[in-house]
Amino acid sequence: MKYLLGIDLGTTTAKALIVSSDGDIISSATTEYPTYFPKAGWAEQNPEEWWDAARKVIREALSKAKILGSQIKGLSISSHRETIALLDENGEVLDNAIIWMDRRSLPQTEWIKQNLDVSEIYRKTGLIVDPTFTATKLMWLKENKRTILDRAKYALQPKDYLIYRLTGKMTTDKSIASRTMLFDINKLEWSEELFEMFGLKKYMHIFPTAFNSDEEVGYVNKKAAQETELNEGTLVIAGGGDRPCEVLGAGILDSTRVEESTGTGSTTSLTLDKPIIDPKMRVVTSVHVIRGKWALEAGMATAGAVLRWFRDQFTREVNFLAKNTRRRAYEYLDMEAEYIPPGSNGLIVVPFFSGARAPRWNPYARGIIFGLTVYHTRAHIFRALMEGIAYEIRKLLDVLSELGFTITELRVLGGGGKTPTWSRIKADVTGRRVIIPSYLDAALIGDVILAGVGTSLFNSYEEGVRKLVKIKQIIEPNLENKRLYDHYYRLYEEIIKRSQDIYTEIGKITEVPRKEIVWDIDRLIHLLFKLEE
């Protein structure tokens, strides 16, 4: 029996999955790794910790599967995108990697909007000019860390860095390259014109050749084999960005259904036969991991992150209970939310806790909890958080309908698929059937399908989907709840509309530098004793 290995490096966790050539799931493993926030709006990661996390889950998955590394026919990797690790000529990392959620390049983003033709950039790249994408981050580095950027010999995205550590090869793939705002999605190649427009032509050489996601790019070398327990010579497939891998892993092979994946953020995606350009530039189009296809994407910067924020800041006793009962804290919070009626008794949350991405594209947007009264409880707020994210998913589906897509089905993936409460809310708010796959980490399924196609264990993507994508639950929308949510959705849109000027104003206030207060423990102790006198 031959086996396939999929590895996904998400924003907060690394995961591995081993599947047999018959499509049976054999084992999986997961581990967390840190993100660093050195300043407000900044977010960085250490590429060495990507590798530490990856080799840990590979070894654990092999151990659980009770198989040898020599039985792995091939592997493929996906990861979060728009993040660049800069390496010197010896392959050593020069600095922490600025990740996708980092907003420090807002000034560079504004410069592009004021000085360049953003519609032309959109037509070439499929992307909206936003701090999310790599080009703006490189412009920031050029202005603020020029020495490091000038020393760079290679620029690798997270999964490309893992492939380098496995094989010694500097490569990338077309799906993840298409998220840099430096790649022409029509010609499927790096664009010299774009590099020149952004003043980055000098650095074009540090970006490696982009392969198709199902192409082989190297073999596990001796050093990596020792560190991971894989067999030296194991075939490594190019892989791709986590979102298009999720689309493939959810079985979304056409544009009649969409996947909605909730992790740190939330992304709604579907598969296209050709690039689609929205005249209003609300959604983005990227190259798909499926050869000859593209993926239309629209997503929120914060979704699961909002619920995690609530859990960590306001439910510590629930976290304690969950730890001691070996359950997820969200399970207890979901049970509380089940007893709250649709609409949360007049509570509406706008979930822009880290700016608004597609389709609104407002980096200054803020989260809002509207309608609070002394009657409302923790459970009301938690349910309203889930509803607010569902309202924004509905907004994305409305945009897709306007662009000519008839969406009948929503496939819910990631952490959001683990809670029936949230899935029912999404069905009722959007009025669409919600499908919950048996295996929710669809990026890993996509990885395995790519590995299967790349090693010829699978004859096609369709064969991989047939073998690996199984359905766990189907939820039909409740029409009575849908009518109620229609009213709340209109109010939700009105709140956002009326808040635009306030977003800008509060952004200006908070950007004014303020001197940080340094904690003086001796003084605090002195004051404490004085108060007790």
Peptide bond into 477 cis (omega under 30): no
Which residue in 235, 218, 240, 219 sits closest to 172, CA to CA? 240
Hey, how many other C-beta atoms are within 10 angstroms of the C-beta on 103? 19
Hey, how many other C-beta atoms are within 10 angstroms of the C-beta on 478? 15
Distances (CA, A) of 167 to 216, 234, 254, 334: 11, 9, 34, 44
261 beta partners: 267, 413
Q: Could you give the count of Cα atoms lying within 13 Å of 198 in the half-sphere of its Cβ?
A: 32
Which residue in 354, 249, 292 sits closest to 11, CA to CA? 354
Residues 6+ apart with CB under 8 A from 99: 11, 35, 43, 44, 45, 80, 82, 83
The gap from C-alpha 352 to its chain's centroid, in whole angstroms, comes to 15
pTM value is: 0.85
Which residue in 188, 80, 56 sits closest to 126, CA to CA? 188
Are the CB atoms for 267 and 304 separated by under 8 Å?
no
Are the CB atoms for 275 and 186 separated by under 8 Å?
yes
The CA angle 164-440-80, to the nearest 5 degrees, is: 30
10 Å CB burial of residue 492 (0-12, 13-18, 19+) is buried
The per-residue pLDDT string of the chain (533 residues; one tens digit each, 9 = 90 and over) reads 799 999 999 988 999 999 998 889 999 999 999 999 988 889 999 999 999 999 999 999 999 999 999 999 999 999 999 999 999 999 999 999 999 989 899 999 999 999 999 999 999 999 999 898 999 999 999 999 999 999 999 999 999 999 999 999 999 999 999 999 999 999 999 999 999 999 999 999 999 999 999 999 999 999 999 999 999 999 999 999 999 999 999 999 888 889 888 877 788 889 999 998 888 999 999 999 999 999 998 878 788 788 888 888 888 888 888 888 888 888 888 899 999 999 999 999 999 988 888 888 888 889 999 999 999 999 999 999 999 999 999 999 999 999 999 888 999 987 777 888 999 999 999 999 999 988 888 999 999 999 999 999 999 999 999 999 999 999 999 999 999 999 999 999 999 999 988 988 887 777 656 666 666 777 777 777 766 55
Are the CB atoms for 242 and 8 separated by under 8 Å?
yes
Residues 6+ apart with CB under 8 A from 427: 410, 433, 434, 475, 476, 477, 478
C-alpha span between 198 and 185 (Å, rounded): 17
Hey, how many other C-beta atoms are within 10 angstroms of the C-beta on 331? 14
10 Å CB burial of residue 432 (0-12, 13-18, 19+) is buried
Domains of the chain: residue spans and CATH: 3-243 (3.30.420.40), 248-498 (3.30.420.40)
C-alpha span between 389 and 392 (Å, rounded): 5
Are the CB atoms for 208 and 167 separated by under 8 Å?
no
Are the CB atoms for 248 and 290 separated by under 8 Å?
yes
Q: What is the pLDDT of residues 280-294, one digit of tens each?
A: 999 999 999 999 999
C-alpha span between 344 and 304 (Å, rounded): 19
Q: Are β-strands 13-20 and 25-32 bridged in parallel, bridged antiparallel, or unpaired?
A: antiparallel
Q: What is the pLDDT of residues 68-122, one digit of tens each?
A: 999 999 999 999 999 999 999 999 999 999 999 898 999 999 999 999 999 999 9
Q: Which helix (DSSP H) or strand (DSSP E) does residue 197 occupy?
A: helix 192-197
Which residue in 204, 40, 61, 182 sits closest to 124, CA to CA? 182
Q: Could you give the count of Cα atoms lying within 13 Å of 327 in the half-sphere of its Cβ?
A: 13
Q: Which two tokens stand for residue 184?
A: 């022409």
Radius of gyration of the chain (CA): 23
